Each structure stands twice: as C-alpha cells, then as structure tokens.
Structure 1
Amino acid sequence: ADAVDSDLNAVAQMLRVARLVSFGPEFEDWLEEVRQMMHREVDYRLEARTTEKFRQMLLDDPRFVVPRVLPEYSTDHIIGATYEHGHSVSSEVVGKLSLERRSNLGMAALELFFRELFVWGEIQTDPNFGNYRIRIAGEGVEGQSKDNDHDRIVLLDFGAVQSYSREFLDPVIQMVRASYEHDLDAVIDGGVTLRFMSTDWPKEVLETFGRVCMSVLEPLSSDHESWPDEAVNSDGQYRWKQSDLPSRVARQAARSAISRYFRVPPREFVFLNRKLIGVYTFISVLYSEFNGEPLLRKYLYGEGDDTPDASATSQITKA
C-alpha cells in the first residue's frame, strides 16, 4: 500500500520521458483511476466486505463458489478465508472435460459478466486466471463435501471490484443493445455520450468506428451467416477460440482511419474493457462452443427464466 503512489508516479514519469502517450486531462484521469483501484486492491477490509457481498449474491447459484471470509483471522493486512479447492482453468484435467461441460463453464462465465453489467452494476475487473479455479463435479478434498452435480467456477480476489453509475452504464448498455439490433446510429450515439466518439468527426469515420464496436458482439449475434467458417462447428455453434475475434477486430480497426481520431475513453472504461477481454479469453481457453445470443436476450429483454440453473444452461448450450 505504501508503494502504490511512488510506483505509479515513477511509471508516469517514464511514460513522459519516453513520450509513449499523449498527456493531458484524459491521461491524468486514467492515472488517477488506476491509482484509486490499486489502493482499493490493498484495502483488505474493503475486499473482505466485497467478497462477502458477492458470496451472498451467488449463494444460490450452483455454478459458482466464493470463499467465506473468516473475520477472526482477518486484519488490515491479512484476509483469512475458507480454502476452496479447484484446478487451473488451463490445466490438463479441465481440458479433458467433454465439450458440453467446458461449454457450460464458458456459458456460466458469460452470464456472470452479464449479471455484473446489467443487474448489479458491480464488476470484478481483474479477470486474470489466478483469480479462477475449476472445481470438477465429484471431486473433493478432506474436510469439504464433494460436488456431485455441477462443475463449478471458484471465484477468488474481489479487490478490484468497480461500482459503476447509471450515467456510465446506460450508454454502454445502449451500445450493446444497438449493436445486437444493428442500429449503427444508436451505437454512434452511445459512443458520443461516452466521449470516445465526437460529432465533429467525418461521417465515414464515425460509421467505421461504430461498425468496429458492433463487431465485438459477433459471438452474441443473431446473424450467424456473417460468422467465419472456422468460427462455426457442425451444429452451428460459435467456436470462441477458433474464431480469433480479438485479432480480427484489431485488424479491422488498424485498416481504418479511426486511429487518427480516436479519443481516450472515459476512465471507467479502462477496467470494463479489461473485464470484457478477460471473459472472452476465459471462454476461449476452455475451447467452449456455444451461441451467446439467448443469454444476451435474457438480459436485454428479460426473456427466459432469471433463476440460475446449470441444467437450463445446458439446454441453452444445446439449443
């Protein structure tokens, strides 16, 4: 905790000397957001409360496990919590699970992100693989009961939880909805509201940027005809790893002229973007294959049962 400010100041100074970024109010906002987040990550009392809050919100969802904080062993510098066993996401034993089971785990990760974004407005924004374990159905350790019915995702480390205002989330959700509905004007309007697009830009640049944003929702789209051949399996399901979507989006952006106009997004977007990339990577590493559209429609339009249920997830996957 004592080193956060000095370390960040050193990094900022290195960037200034190397002239690697454009300095101004936007950069200062980004730096301050990172500073605040790092201070939150070493505030263990806060993390203990946040961990318990997420544990309660997910208590009835059989697909997730959140450790129980042990206050009698916790201090300002230590979090004591129950040990929750599981395997690394990229481990061989997880990779050998059936496609259906790996896809169900990927579906669970995607739905958790949707609940954070659409329902709770609180997002765990540090999705590195050290913060997840996979507990395989039927496995257990001494002192803990076996989970016989479901493979489960163990969620660790709630020090990087961000609470977002409606002022920020509403235009983000507008862009998601507009992308799904192929409403380019509404995508652009959301980007302008979030201040990383501008009405001063040429119409062609705005539309190109809007289409780049829309392409991010490819795995959730109803337009399956536009999916690359390698991104579709024999059952018409989306192959998250094989689609190579992040690289394709990056190439699409690089080929356009938008880089000359691009603005630094609002600071809140830094960690939301990290989460989005992390969720996609989590699903890809599992080699999950499923169409995300039914889940997206559930949260955009309230379609389907909101009660979490792993068997229902399995049915969506098969559909």
Structure 2
Amino acid sequence: ELDDWLGSLRQQLHNEIDYEREAAIGDRVAALVAERREAFAERGIRYHVPLRHARYCGDTVLALEYIDGDPVGSPAVAKLPLGRRNALGRAMLELFFLELYDWGLLQTDPNFGNFLIRRRPGGDELVLLDFGSTLYCDEDFLANLGSAIAAGQRQDREALVDALVGLGCLREDSSDFARQTFSDFCLQLLEPLRPPQALPREHLNRRGEYCWGRSRLMQRVGRQAASSAATRHFTTPSREFAMIARKLTGVFTFIAVLDAQFNAHDTVHGYIDDYADEGGATAP
C-alpha cells in the first residue's frame, strides 16, 4: 500500500510540472464553461478560466491572463451580502459535480490558492486558476462515487460500504471496524447533501437552510477521524479514499469560509438523478 501511495504522489508531482498537459486541460475546461455560460448565469453561477497566451507558453512556461480578484478568505469577500456569498458557495459545490458527471475529470487539489473571486455588480465570478493536479475519471470510478454519494444522502450504510469497496476505499475482507469507521466518516462528511428534512436542526437557520460555517462540520469530522485513528484497529485509508475526502473537505471548507447558508440537496439531486437515469447510482 505504501508503494501505491508513493507511486500516486510521484505521478501527481510529474503532472504538476507538465505545463503542456495543464494547458490542454485548462483549454478544455474553458471551452466547457463557455458552452454553458448562459445556462449557468440563469442560476446565478459564473465561472471564469483565465485566457491562455499560447504564443508565450511552452514546456516550462504557462502564461495566463492577469485576473484582479480576491481570495475566499479576504475581508472584501466576507463583506459581500449573504445572497452573493450563497451564489459563490453554490458555484463551488456545483463545480465538483460538473467535473465528475459532465466533464469526466477531477481537480484533486482543493487549495484555496487555486481559486479567486472576481467581484462584479452583474454577478460575481469563481475564477479557476490551476489544473495541474487534474485527473481524468473512468466510468467505474464515477459509478461507484455516484453510488457512494447517493447512499450518503439516504444514510444507507450498507449501500455506502458497497460503494466504498467499489472505489477501492475498502477491501472485500476489510474488518467490521474498518467498515464502520469509514462509513461513519462518510456519513458525517456528506451531512450537508442530505434532504432538508434529514439535516440536523441545530445547524439550520430560521428558514431551514444549512449554515455551512456555523455547523463546524470540518471540526466534527476531524475529531471523529482523530478518534478512529487513535485505536489499535485503525486501518490506513486507501489513496482513493484520501483523494476523495480531501477534495470534498476542501469544497465544503471553501463554502464554510464564505459563511454561506443554503441547502445542497437540490443541486446534488439533479446530478444524481441524471446519473441514475443513465444506469449509474440509485437516486435518493
């Protein structure tokens, strides 16, 4: 397993410095965003991929348009009205599902430095800066991840464990403790994606909307993971599990920093429904 981890890290480092590969992926994402720009705008969601100056690019240089924007944790973003912060949070969440189920790729590095927020009166933009750690997803991965998310929404532990086995996050012969530990982690991590009636009431505002910052979800998930790791039965997570968990925690932390307040189920439900209609995951 250690060799598998090291091999994955080695490949990721190679990808990070392969500027021609990153340029190609960036061009593809820019085209995909442009195709649906009007549809996104109708829902208050706006993405921007910096223009690439091809004449100045090469195997050691990636020259991009300069963007004057703010990091998510900046005072300027914190002062935005709640409605605008909610729109940015929804854009970040939907980006995750767009990557997986529309684009067939996954930007695996959720570092805040890979995003900027360009404040505009007509609609703020989420600027996508870095594609070096992007991976292409195969159908089996997408099928099992879709099943895992759908099972998490339904809080169906048995189906979730089956999906985690399919993802390589658990083995067929994994101990009962490992199955319990990893499924508990996922069920808690996927809390914001549940149907409104299944959300913990203590984390909702007066309108019944999930309060991403106030919920302190990441702190709760972290405490649970630390408690599990402290036992003698702890099993080292697979690289697949670590990648997915890191991506989701990054997305959710970004939304929490925005102090957004909205329910995610409807956004996620559309992607899961469409995927289920195509023969993938079972819709919640």
TM value normalised by structure 1: 0.77
Matched positions, count: 267
* 1:282 is aligned to 2:254: yes
List per-residue Cα deviations over 1:243-299 (Å, max 9, x = no partner): 111221233344558954444444344433322121111111111110000011110
Q: Please say which structure displays the higher CA radius of gyration.
A: 1
- Specify the alignment match of 2:49 in structure 1: 66
Q: Do 1:127 and 1:275's aligned partners in 2 also have CA atoms closer than 8 Å?
A: yes
Change (3 A) 1:209 1:124: closer
Flag structure 2 segments of 5+ consecutive residues without an equivalent. 276-284
Structure 1 unmatched ranges of 5 or more:
1-25, 139-148, 304-319
Matched, 1:298 2:270: yes
More deviation, 191-200/241-250: 191-200
Q: 1:207 to 1:258 in 2, by over 3 A?
A: farther
The corresponding residue for 2:115 is 132
Distance in 1 (alpha carbons) for counterparts of 2:24 and 2:229:
46
Is the CA contact 1:209–1:258 (under 8 Å) kept in the aligned structure 2? no
Aligned pairs for 1:1-319 within 5 A: 26-59=1-34, 60-61=36-37, 62=41, 63-138=46-121, 149-201=122-174, 203=176, 206-207=179-180, 209-222=182-195, 224=197, 226-227=199-200, 229=202, 231-255=203-227, 260-302=232-274
Against the structure 1 CA distance between its residues 99 and 38, is the aligned structure 2 distance closer, same or farther, given a 3 Å change threshold?
same
Larger displacement relative to structure 2 (237-246 or 210-219): 210-219
Worse-matched range after superposition: 39-48 or 58-67? 58-67
RMSD: 2.3
**Shift of residue 117, structure 1, vs aligned partner:** 1.9
Q: CA deviation at 1:94?
A: 1.1
> In 1, Cα distance between the equivalents of 2:133 and 2:98?
17
Q: Deviations over 1:85-121 (max 9, x none)?
A: 2122111111111001101100010001011122222
Partner of 2:280: none
> Does structure 2 retain, via aligned residues, the 8 Å contact 1:194–1:265?
no
The secondary structure found in structure 2 opposite 1:302 is helix
Q: 1:68 to 1:210 in 2, by over 3 A?
A: same
SS of alignment partner, residue 154 of structure 1 = strand
Amino acid at match of 2:48: V
Whether contact under 8 Å (1:253, 1:259) holds in the other structure is no
